[in-house]
Amino acid sequence: MNSTIYQPFKNFDFKYKNCFLSGDNFNAPVAEINVLPDWLLKVANFSGEEQIKLLDESVRAYNTLKVPCSTEVYNQFIQPLEDKIAAAFSEGYAAVSALPEEELFKWIGKFMYSLIYIEMNAAVRLQQISADGVNMSQGLMHKFGNLNTMLQSIYRPVVYEDFMPWSIVVVPLEEQDTSFSFRDEINTLTFSLKLKDFGIIACLQDNGTNKKFHQEILTQIGTTPLSPQQFEELCARFYYSAYLFNRLPEYTVMPVEGTIYIDAMPLRGTMNKALFDHWQHKTYAQVLQDFWKPWGHTLFEIIKDPTKPISYFEPACLPATQ
């Protein structure tokens, strides 16, 4: 097996000519595949005409979001992964929570990286990024490149040396027939979705720190089904803490005889400050207001007591401010 690692961010290979995961375009034909697979549109009861706004402000229908993929990679690896996730999603919380976290990481990561690929293609095409990427944040390129390397685990062996690069939380929901929706934040590689009786929150490149940061509330929740407001509040906490996470994870990546070995460098490194910037209730309340839009909570209402934003959890278990 090829021991080289495909690194599309080195030459900005986002031109729909090579497989978005493997870079291959000669061992098997390359075809465009849907970012939102047909089974997901079906279970969400979507037509595919629903729209999403991209970072360049363009509006695209779900069924037009496609990425190039080797037919060999798709048939042998992506399709079986989709089948496994689809089967679990169709059953609900019990099956989804039983999935190995690495399987969820691969599927969520593939979904998010597909959107990143589309955004990168648009940026290169519109010359917002030059061929050497000088107009793009080096930190973002670093994170996106690491995510691509980790996602090569979909079609080749990848070994994480005594760590997992993600925080993934699967929680039960009170409502048994929750409509499908998802949210993502590309800059922090944070993702969430809800469907039927389960919700998922994922931070794809934090080495598990966001999950540890919110361990108190997660322990309190346990397997207690969450109300719609509680799930959105939990999402808001993760999205905000992912924003506060002030490290750029570094990894040692070593390909050996077809297997990629990934070792995480210590997050603390030589920095004296904490892994997260100070939690500010006022800023968190602004995030929470966005997540609670369906219920019409105003910012004034949420932060009426500046030391104690309102919460649907009792006790609230909010991080301490400084």
Give mean pLDDT, residues 51-58. Answer: 86
Residue 303 has pLDDT above 80, yes or no: yes
> What percentage of the chain reaches a pLDDT higher than 90?
84
Q: Residues, the chain, total? A: 322
pLDDT of 119 reads 92
Taking residues 104-123, report their average pLDDT: 95
Q: Is the distance from CB of 12 to CB of 120 less than 8 angstroms?
A: yes
pLDDT tens-digit profile of 197-224? 999 999 999 999 999 999 999 999 999 9
124 — pLDDT class (breaks 50, 70, 90): confident
pLDDT at 3: 63
pLDDT for residue 31 is more than 60:
yes
* Of the listed ranges 9-18, 29-38, 101-110, 148-157, the one predicted with least confidence: 9-18
Q: At what angle do helices 281-291 and 228-244 cross, to 10 degrees?
A: 130
| Coil, strand or helix at 125 | helix
Q: What is the pLDDT of residue 138?
A: 85
What was the pLDDT predicted at 142? 92
Q: pLDDT at position 130, please?
A: 57
**pLDDT (tens digit per residue) in 161-196:** 999 999 999 999 999 999 999 999 999 999 999 999
**Predicted confidence (pLDDT) at residue 58 exceeds the cutoff of 80:** yes
Task: Note the pLDDT tens digit of each residue in 90-112.
Answer: 999 999 999 999 999 999 999 99
Q: What is the pLDDT of residue 1?
A: 43
What is the phi/psi pair of residue 40, to 5°?
Answer: -70, -40
Q: Tell me, what's the pLDDT at 259?
A: 94
Say how many C-beta atoms besides its own lie within 10 A of residue 284's C-beta: 23
Name the amino acid, one letter, at 282.
K
Name which residue leads in pLDDT, 33 or 274: 33
Ranges of H-type helices in 126-197: 138-151
pLDDT at 55: 82
Sign of the torsion formed by the C-alpha atoms of 240, 245, 250 and 251: negative
Q: What's the chain's Rg over C-alpha atoms? A: 20
Q: Is residue 126 scored above 90 in pLDDT?
A: no
pLDDT at 122: 87
Task: Determine the pLDDT at residue 133.
Answer: 52
Going by pLDDT thresholds of 50, 70 and 90, the confidence category of residue 269 is low
Residue 113 has pLDDT above 60, yes or no: yes
pTM tops 0.75: yes
- Mean pLDDT score of the chain: 93
* Residue range 148-169: mean pLDDT, rounded: 97
Nearest Cα to Cα of residue 84 among 106, 62, 54, 57: 106
DSSP state of 61: E
Strands (E), 9-145: 30-34, 51-53, 59-61, 66-70
Does the structure show a pLDDT above 60 at 272?
yes
